[in-house]
Amino acid sequence: MERMSSEKPIIALGSWLETPAGRYVRAWEQARLDILTADIFGFNAMQIGLPQIDALRANRMTGKWLTDTLAPDTSVVNGQGGQPPVVVVHDFAELPFASASLDLVVLPHVLEFAA
C-alpha cells in the first residue's frame, strides 16, 4: 500500500476544518479537549500539530507551547484568542525536547497521518 506524505493530509485536514462539517467537528473536538485538559497540572504543556484546534485552551499551565511541521499562517493562530504561538517547527518523528521536560503533550490527529 502506498503511503502519502505527512504534510499533504494535514494540509487537507486543515482546509476541511474550515468547511461547515469541519467547523462542527472542530467545535465538538474542542469541547472534549477542554474537558480532558482542564484539570491536568504541571508546568509545561505542548500541542504538537494542527493549530486550527486549541487543544490547550482550558488547561491552566503557565507554559503552553504549540509546534508544527510548517510555520502556519499567523491569522489562523492569532485568530484563536489566547492560543500560544508556534515556537518550534520540526519533524514530528524527531521531537527536540528533553525527557521529562513536558507535563502534558497533546497530538490532535498527528498519529493518524504519521508515516
CA distance 25 to 16: 10
For 50-89, write each residue's pLDDT tens digit. 888 999 999 999 999 888 887 766 655 544 555 666 677 8
Query: What pLDDT score does 79 carry?
Result: 46
Query: What pLDDT score does 35 carry?
Result: 98
Global confidence as pTM: 0.75
For 9-43, write each residue's pLDDT tens digit. 545 788 888 899 999 999 999 999 999 999 999 99
Residue 30: count of CB within 10 angstroms of its CB: 18
Does 101 score more than 90 pLDDT? yes
Higher pLDDT among residues 3 and 93, named by residue = 93
Query: What pLDDT score does 56 carry?
Result: 95
Q: What is the SS3 assignment for 25-87?
A: HHHHHHHHHHHHHCCCCCCEEEEECCCCCCCCCCCCCCEEEEEECCCCCHHHHHCCCCCCCEE
